[in-house]
Structure 1
Amino acid sequence: MSSGRNAAEEGAAPRTVATAGPPRLGLRENAAQFALLVAVNALVGGMLGQERTVLPLLAEREFGLTAYTAVLTYILAFGLAKAVTNYLAGAWSDRYGRKPVLVAGWIVAVPVPLLLIWAPSWGWVVAANVLLGISQGLTWSTTVIMKIDLVGPARRGLAMGFNEAAGYLAVAVTALVTGYLAAAHGLRPEPFFLGIAYAALGLGLSTLVVRETIQHARSEAGAHVPRADGLHDHLHEELTQRQVFVQTSFREPALSSASQAGLVNNLNDGLAWGLFPVLYASSGLGVGRIGVLAALYPAVWGLGQLVTGALSDHWGRKPFIVGGMLLQAAALALVAVGDDFPVWVVAAVLLGAGTAMVYPTLLATIGDVAHPRWRARSVGIYRLWRDGGFAVGALLAGVLADLYGIRAAVWVVAALTAVSGAVVAMRMYETHHRRTGVPRPADPVG
């Protein structure tokens, strides 16, 4: 009986055990998780947007701050906190996984709108912005890294366009809505109710629905093919944190060019966030119109990235970065010479368009050059420099505005932005394979 059973088993087809293959890379293959992360990053942007219209006016009208340097302390605190956290987020997401870092960022965000509502002094507002910077560093950095993980090498520009578009469209919509709420109900508390809703929804989605993506990066790393031209042969698979920092910040031409351009880009964004509403108000614009201008710039920025990110996958990264920086410089000059609503509308549109050309392509450049094994750390270091621009911009613009006036500060930042574009034009090489003729790394899943 036993021998009969063995004979039957020997004559039967061998049993197969279903095993999960490597994770599939690509936008279509990961559409559900990618769309979810786009929605989560929109909520991240909304947390930032709740401040864009209201806080500069709150500083002057409720807390009596008149010195521009004092007014911009909240942006300085935000920028420093976010920059440092960006750096840590890249390292932590490699060590602990992407999802825990994302969830931690949302936990930190929960008290922010409550502190802004109840703040009895400006110090509370500054403290709230330290928490906001930490939260933004953890959440926004991680959604960037997770999208790069999912889509693979061919569609990074498009992926970053979707990511940044969602975030900054949410900034724009929230800035517009909070402007109208402030005009109708006052500067507090109604405009910050949106922040409470955003934090609750973002924490819930990130905890319950978002899935870990680090395995996608590991799969890509296993099939990584060096460039045929040998350009990155000196960048080995395994680099220490210090080596990644040096390459991203100073040594590697494309990575370091992107880092300085990111810093200057957010330097002028810090200026726009902190001083433009004050400039508009000093020319007699009401809160409603200030809200429109505060929303228009990130709206064009957000929508434009849906186009520029995808086009950089076909036309290359460098033309968009150089052109975008120069267009931003021209837009800032127009803000400085303008004195009425229509001129500032045009300037806001141009500034948003220039930023849309730069933002997703800088991130895609990091993804092009950095090896998958240390790419998350490189993204974090790039974002350390980029969001450090908020702090530099707040300090520089505040001091210049106090000494020479807001318009002089705008002129100086316009000049710095033009110089940054020239640095990219001279130092950065094209990083995208379709423009260099270098075949892209083979997809690990075919």
Structure 2
Amino acid sequence: MDSVKLGLKENWKQFALLVIVNGFVGGMVGMERSIFPQFAEVEFGVASKTAILAFITAFGISKAVANYYTGKLANKFGRRTLLLFGWLLAIPVPFMLIYAPSWTFVIIANILLGLSQGLTWSSTVVMKIDLVGEKDRGFAMGLNEFAGYFAVGIVAFITGYVANSYGITPYPFYIGVFLSIVGFLLTLFWVKDTRDFVKKEGKNNKTVELKNVFLETTFKNKTLSSVTQAGLINNLNDGMIWGLLPMVLFSLNFDNENIGIITAIYPAVWGIGQLFTGKMSDHYSKKGMLFWGMLMQGIAILFIPYSSEFAVLAGLSAILGLGTALVYPTFLATIAQATSPQQRAESIGTFRLWRDLGYAFGAIISGVTADIFGVEYAILTIASLTIMSSLIIKFRMPVNIKTVRK
């Protein structure tokens, strides 16, 4: 235990490895990001918006559940064990998509992908927080989320290009075969568990433990619950963008390559921006960053139905990415600051449960509204909810986030 030292500099090799691993995790989602609506329609003849977005619903629910139990079980089984198990679940997914006989089989593959994402992404988040200690927590989360979401954007662009050149299937999914196998091998041979770092930090940390982590994170604690609702709404609008934006672009007669570019700008800016916003959250008002980030997202989404030019849509995608970059590492840094080391994994797991249920809620709300009233109304509904979320941050969340000490 005496040999264990907290800090980014002290643990840079293991930290850098986890950044790379999380890049592979994000790439698995990017594999689907720009091509799935066309994949559903071209390969399986699925035209209903609700039916197409069912794959996001399945992904969101399974990932949310996996997030929660990763947090609950992290101390018992170890972060590395759960990370390895998550990669094992990921390996069959691209093969299932290549050989899928029906759309139902595709949805089953996305349930597996969601479980894998919950286990792998949550584990890397918690492990990085464990390694760095309190000082560089926001910066650590910025690097983590940069790696994941920049990879989402890059792989989304690559799959869009490959699909445009060689067809929707099978070639884009070969990328997933590579990512899942290499991610598993990196974890198996080089990643180390971080539970000893939690014990080390816990010796000097006097943060009062929450009586009920789930209830405090979800409803009772003003800081934690404000962050949780914003996380849910953030992924609710992300689920809508994932499912409906390619449809909007397709209806405007953009080809797969241009759809890939526009859909990739959002997660790429989101990813790169977190290199800076994560560090900002260590020094500036977390509440201010969360409010402005959610507001920027809402305004950007509001203008999507009224835009048809490539440059305008690319610009809105960039603004949406910047708004998301402001909030994403700040969510996790805020929760880590407001909870004890022993309860951190469970609180983050609870937050990520609700945050990723946002994918399911977003897909359902978007799909049903689009089928009944049209895509424009679905997008405006999601924009309104995002702006409302920013106001909840402004009026409910305390100005200063302080850990409560004995």
Q: Supply the distance in 1 between the matched residues of 2:144 and 2:196 (Cα, whole angstroms).
A: 20
Q: Supply the distance in 1 between the matched residues of 2:4 and 2:231 (Cα, whole angstroms).
A: 32
SS of 1:374's equivalent in the other structure is helix
1:53-72 equivalence runs, <5 A: 53-72=34-53
Contact persistence 2:206–2:340 (CA under 8 A) = no
Q: Which residue of 2 aligns with 1:76?
A: 57
SS of 1:373's equivalent in the other structure is helix
The question of 1:271 aligning with 2:240 is answered: yes
Shift of 1:339: 1.6
Superposed CA deviations along residues 123-179 of structure 1, whole A, max 9, x for unmatched, are: 111011000000000000000000000010111110000000000000000000000
Q: Which residue of 1 aligns with 2:329?
A: 360
1:22-421 equivalence runs, <5 A: 22-226=3-207, 233=208, 235=209, 239=211, 243-421=212-390
Distance 1:378 1:401, change over 3 A: same
Letter aligned with residue 25 of structure 2: V
Contact persistence 1:334–1:343 (CA under 8 A) = no
Superposed CA deviations along residues 381-430 of structure 1, whole A, max 9, x for unmatched, are: 00000000000000000000001111111101000000001001111124
Superposed CA deviations along residues 322-356 of structure 1, whole A, max 9, x for unmatched, are: 00000000100111211221111111000000000
Q: Supply the distance in 2 between the matched residues of 1:432 and 1:250 (Cα, whole angstroms).
A: 17
Contact persistence 1:94–1:377 (CA under 8 A) = no
Which ranges of structure 2 fall in alignment gaps of 5 or more residues? none
TM-score, length-scaled by structure 2: 0.98
Greater helix fraction, Structure 1 or Structure 2: 2
Runs of 4 or more off by more than 2 Å in structure 1? 430-433
Shift of 1:26: 0.5
Shift of 1:431: 5.1
Letter aligned with residue 125 of structure 1: V
Contact persistence 2:82–2:119 (CA under 8 A) = yes
Superposed CA deviations along residues 341-374 of structure 1, whole A, max 9, x for unmatched, are: 1111111000000000010000111101011111
Equivalent of residue 396 in structure 2, options 397, 418, 427 = 427
Contact persistence 2:223–2:401 (CA under 8 A) = no
Shift of 1:312: 1.1
Q: Supply the distance in 2 between the matched residues of 1:39 and 1:316 (Cα, whole angstroms).
A: 29
Q: Supply the distance in 1 between the matched residues of 2:238 and 2:399 (Cα, whole angstroms).
A: 25
Letter aligned with residue 257 of structure 1: S
Superposed CA deviations along residues 236-276 of structure 1, whole A, max 9, x for unmatched, are: 5xx5xxx1100110011111111000000000000000110
Superposed CA deviations along residues 195-251 of structure 1, whole A, max 9, x for unmatched, are: 00000111001111000101101111111034xxxxxx5x45xx5xxx110011001
Which ranges of structure 1 fall in alignment gaps of 5 or more residues? 1-19, 227-232, 442-446
Contact persistence 2:294–2:327 (CA under 8 A) = yes
TM-score, length-scaled by structure 1: 0.89
Contact persistence 1:172–1:296 (CA under 8 A) = yes
Letter aligned with residue 188 of structure 1: T
Shift of 1:115: 0.5
SS of 1:313's equivalent in the other structure is coil
Q: Which has the larger radius of gyration?
A: 1
SS of 2:281's equivalent in the other structure is helix
Q: Supply the distance in 2 between the matched residues of 1:162 and 1:432 (Cα, whole angstroms).
A: 22
